[in-house]
Chains A and B, each alone.
Chain A
Amino acid sequence: MSAGRDMYRQQILDHYKNPRNYGELDDPTFSHVGENPLCGDEIRVEVKLDEDDETIEYAAFTGDGCAISQASASMLTDELRGLTLKELAALDREDVTDLLGVDVSPMRVKCAVLSEKVAQDGAAIYEGEKEVDVTKTE
């Protein structure tokens, strides 16, 4: 089925052209970077935790790449606010594609899930559960 033009619904284009939560935080609790070699996408996700050291107060991102990767980072950082790290870890591919609200073509799923994987790896590194230099979606 054609996923091309449909994949670029107004919502995605809006988030791509006017990304939410774009920029660096002054005081991130943790920060992590990832790449998607397919499109050359790069995303850094920064997260500030509440005093409980568990709940996400807010999140931001920087980076560049294709519309799918950038729009999903914009939407995801909105969504992360108020989630616990446990809830972040439980997010899966469908949660991201649901956020995007479109069928992402199989080749482009790695663009869509990049920011989610970066946020999850960032949290896992912060909690000492994982060692990752740069997250890659391939």
Chain B
Amino acid sequence: MSTQASEPLDVERIRRDFPILGREVGAGDRLIYLDNAATSQTPDPVIDAVSEYYRGYNSNVHRGIHHLSEEASIAYEEAHDRLAEFVGASGGREELVFTKNTTEALNLVAHAWGLRELGPGDNVVMTEMEHHSSLVTWQQIAKRTGAEVRYVRVDGDGHLDTDHARELVDEDTEMVSTVHVSNVLGTMTPVAELAGLAHEHGSHIFVDGAQAVPHRPVDVEELGVDFYAFSGHKMCGPTGIGCLYGRADLLAAMEPFMYGGGMVRKVTFEETTWNDVPWKFEAGTPLIAEGIALAEAADYLEDVGLDSIDRHEHELTEYAMGRLEEFDDLEIYGPPRGEERTGVVSFNLENVHAHDLASIMNDHAVAIRPGDHCTQPLHDSMGITASARASFYLYNTKAEVDALIEAIDDARQLFA
């Protein structure tokens, strides 16, 4: 594994880049932030990029002639190239659209591509561990077009049943839409294998990479995918900005998703022609500060080293799972320790509802997330209504894992 060659992280130095990690919560305890799968914290260089934009060159992009607009336009447009490069898209901005988040990227493709390409007799294949962002989107687009949705099984240990995928994907499959990493189970799906399967059947593949891109190197061309989406706020970037990678020929052939200013070339009272990709898909004044700051987040993560981040999270997760296994009344979901999985650990403590557990952990200044994590069908299939989820990132430490364990033990004793 490439992670073996990576440098260990200097976590203490990294933590100094994140001012929020110094704050106290509740009764004056230092925040222990283990809700990174929901949103990550923001380092100074990214906060500074937003601040510098508003203090120095805030203006609208693409159409201004004046100095500020030129600076903003160049920074905003180059941010697309930077994010394309970050995920290995050699086409630069022609393959990288800024969206609000992963959900909007999914909706963009589902509407702009799906409404035209899907029809009765066609099917879309997903996995049982899809986030609602893709599950609900394709489910509803399928209803509108008469297409069928199919779900690849996930086994009891959180592995995707690839034999089942081979049964489901057929000549009528128009899209395979899968998470790269499950936001509940931490499972890595075999994306390259699924891409091969989709293409063998003349289908396309969309990958929800929201839980992958922040945590490990991702190369969309190596994976061989057609579409790939991720969110800025989970990768040390601002909220409100996300990315859609799409193969250049696919994006060029697609109709727009939203209409308005900036996405047009020629407009008459009767007709309109479209601007080039990505602007064709970015109607209205875009998220300028956010896009520029997201490029800064990509720089930050690469400076730290994504291989090193991956390795650090792997070690923390192994350590956390080992400690969680000390409790015989605690069930961990997803692939067992030792297997490839990411820094997401979901669990339930016997007799303690996940929301009660999270409330008690909050009293220990430990931020975790209880609930269905936008995967209700997955939770239904696991026979539970909710789970507690701890998720790690580059700034978390073993001492914080120990605090998590102490907080869980406190809840156990309270409910014993």
Q: Which residues of A does B touch, CB under 8 Å?
A: 1-8, 13, 16-17, 38-40, 65-68, 105, 108, 111
Contacts and interface: CB of A to CB of B under 8 A. Distances in A.
A107 to B, nearest CB: 8
B386 A5 contact: no
Given A13-B414, A38-B371, A40-B385, A4 B353 contact: no
B10 interface: no
B360 A66 contact: no
Contacts of B385: 39-40, 65
A4 B355 contact: no
Contact of A39 (B26, B352, B353, B360): B353
18 contacts: A1-B26, A2-B27, A2-B363, A3-B359, A8-B360, A13-B415, A16-B415, A17-B415, A39-B353, A39-B354, A39-B386, A40-B372, A40-B385, A40-B386, A67-B353, A67-B356, A68-B355, A111-B355
A16 B353 CA distance: 11
Interface in B320-377: 352-356, 359-364, 370-372
Contacts of A5: 360, 363, 410, 414
Given A1-B27, A3-B362, A39-B353, 15 more contacts: A1-B26, A2-B26, A2-B363, A4-B26, A4-B359, A8-B356, A8-B414, A13-B415, A38-B371, A39-B355, A39-B370, A66-B353, A66-B355, A66-B356, A67-B352
Contacts of B354: 39
Contact of B363 (A4, A39, A66): A4
**6 tightest Cβ-Cβ pairs between the two chains A and B:** A4-B363, A40-B385, A66-B353, A2-B26, A39-B355, A66-B355
Contacts of A17: 415
A65 B27 CA distance: 28
A46 to B, nearest CB: 22
Nearest to B384: A40
Contacts of A13: 414-415
Looking at B354, B356, B364, B370, the one whose CB has the most chain A CB atoms below 10 A away is: B356
Interface of B: 26-27, 352-356, 359-364, 370-372, 385-386, 410, 414-415
A4 B364 contact: yes
A13 B414 CA distance: 8
Contacts of B410: 5
A66 B351 CA distance: 10
Contacts of B363: 2-6
B26 A108 contact: no
A132 B354 CA distance: 28
Contacts of A66: 353, 355-356
A105 B370 CA distance: 15
A1 B28 CA distance: 10
Nearest to A39: B355
Nearest to A1: B26
A108 B27 CA distance: 19
Contacts of B356: 8, 66-68
Looking at A1, A16, A66, A108, the one whose CB has the most chain B CB atoms below 10 A away is: A66
B355 A108 contact: yes
Contacts of B415: 13, 16-17, 67
B48 to A, nearest CB: 32
A43 B386 CA distance: 16
Looking at B359, B362, B370, B371, the one whose CB has the most chain A CB atoms below 10 A away is: B359
Contacts of A105: 359
Contact of B360 (A4, A40, A65): A4
